Amino acid sequence: MPKLILRNGRVIDPASHRDSIADVLLADGKIAAVGQSLDPSGAEEFDASGCIVAPGFIDIHVHLREPGFEYAETIESGSRAAAAGGFTSICPMPNTKPVNDNATVTRYIIERAERHAMVNVFPIGAITKGSAGEELAAIGSMKEAGAVAVSDDGKPVMNARLMRRAMEMASSLGLPVVDHCEDLHLSAGGDMHEGFQSVRLGLRGIPSASEDVMVARDILLAELTGARYHVAHISAWRSVKMVEFAKARGLRVTCEATPHHFALSDGDMIAYDSNYKMKPPLRSQQDAAAVVDGLASGSIDAIATDHAPHPGSEKMQEFERCPFGILGLETALGLSLENLVHSGKISLLRLVELFTTGPARVMGLDRGTLALGAPADVTVFDTARAWTYDVNKSFSKSRNSPFHARAFLGGPVATIVGGKIVWRLD
């Protein structure tokens, strides 16, 4: 297998506390050496000077839409968008058609990914059959087939007794339970965050309490069962506080935040533009600030995109009828650099943690480090490159992004999976 050497980059590897200019040698799909002036014969050279060389980024929350909704995204197109965003591993949620609630679907996704994906794909199985919230899915056999976690994402598990049983089951199998925290009675068909803006726009509101009560319930159940519990796309400030409280109590509770929830608030919404419609909704400035604080303090463990492709035909309806969700893979790093690093809120090392060791730990993945012998997954990025996002050139099959034509400072330069360059800036 060919060798690749990344020359003179600033190597940031949180797992080994490294932040220094060095060469990184990749051979046989593994990290073979990190050091000064390495001289490997026959290796392909990549000039990384002026760039950050980091462990491959991991996105633990994406929607690839295959099987069932291939008109919106496929494992191949979604993985290309991931590679172009600097991600080397992604975890697709199970809300496909059929739902990934049994080993046959899990195996199908893994086999399709082995053949067509540019990046590593670690599927998440459903908590309940059909994600209908009525009876537990075949969690044990999905784990055997390769599922790394369970979630009914897109929907909450409304029945607390069922959630308790899911946590007990997942706990005995060593899997994390990921919940989409939304009390459906409280969100009650709302379209955006409940507050001044929803009143102004005349749209039905989704109160922060719909998230907060589920996070509270789940933390209590996590304590009762000892389960590993993870809050998907946390957005409300009280929820962040509750996760902080759970961590302080020593519970195995983690959470993730999306770039749109810290980069935008409900005041940024362009009225009735469905590219601003997602769940949880864009919340208040106070909530967005709490998410930034949580990312800085460690209460929030990972940045995840919740990449949710929808074709134009679905997004171009009246606001109330449009599906929830936006693209996220190609803009995540640019938004994170701008709102977290360039703004002085977190260090570059912490940013790399949030894309690597943080998500790896949540999902129990043996990735996210440049340690010798680790898989040769590497993300090369630049903190100073000026570029503009053109959604019409996205690798995704869908175009639903509020960040079209936005200017960014800093973004991915090359994405390397298993020692092979799968995307590079032209």
Q: Which residues belong to the active site?
A: 306
Residue at 383: amino acid letter: T
| Nearer to Zn ion (CB atom), residue 66 or residue 153 | 153
Least distance between Zn ion and beta carbon 281 (Å): 12
Residue nearest to Zn ion (CB): 180
Could you tell me which stretch among 121-129, 136-144, 153-161, 396-404 binds Zn ion (CB under 5 A)?
Answer: 153-161
Q: Least distance to Zn ion from the beta carbon of 125, Å?
A: 15
Cα–Cα dist 138/128, whole Å: 8
With CB under 5 A as the rule, give the number of residues binding Zn ion.
2
Structure tokens at 6: 């990344």
Separation between Cα atoms, residue 129 and residue 133, nearest integer Å: 7
Taking CB under 5 A as the criterion, the residue among 7, 10, 180, 193 binding Zn ion is 180
- 7 or 65, CB closer to Zn ion? 65
CA distance 381 to 283: 30
382 binds Zn ion (CB under 5 A): no
Closest to Zn ion by CB, 153 vs 330, is 153
CB 288 within 8 A of CB 265: yes
Q: Which is nearer to Zn ion, 74 or 187 (CB)?
A: 187
Could you please report the per-residue DSSP string of 230-279?
A: EESS---HHHHHHHHHHHHTT--EEEEE-HHHHH--GGGPPTT-GGG--S
9 near 49, Cβ under 8 Å? yes
Rule CB under 5 A: is residue 153 a binding residue for Zn ion?
A: yes
Which CB, 379 or 398, lies closer to Zn ion? 398
- Stretch touching Zn ion by CB under 5 A, among 62-70, 175-183, 254-262, 314-322: 175-183
Nearest-approach distance from CB 306 to Zn ion, in angstroms: 6
- Judged by beta carbon, residue 180 or residue 283, the one nearer Zn ion is 180
Question: Is residue 10 near Zn ion by the rule CB under 5 A?
Answer: no
From residue 212, alpha-carbon distances to 92, 165, 183, 186, 242 in Å are 25, 21, 9, 11, 8
Angle at 239 between CA 307 and CA 226, to 5 degrees: 95
In this chain, which stretch among 16-24, 127-135, 146-154, 220-228 interacts with Zn ion, using CB under 5 A?
Answer: 146-154
- Taking the mean position of all CA atoms in its chain, how far away is CA 51? 23
Please give the C-alpha separations between residue 397 and each of 251, 258, 348, in angstroms, as whole numbers: 40, 21, 31
Bridge partners, 2 (sequence order):
none
Question: What's the rounded Cα separation, in Å, for the pair 395 and 413?
Answer: 16
Stretch that binds Zn ion, among 41-49, 121-129, 145-153, 326-334 (CB under 5 A): 145-153
Q: Which of these ranges, 147-155, 270-278, 286-294, 334-342, lies near Zn ion under the rule CB under 5 A?
A: 147-155
Chain positions 245 to 264 lying near Zn ion, rule: CB under 5 A, are: none
Smallest separation, CB 232 to Zn ion (Å) = 5
Binding site for Zn ion (CB under 5 A): 153, 180
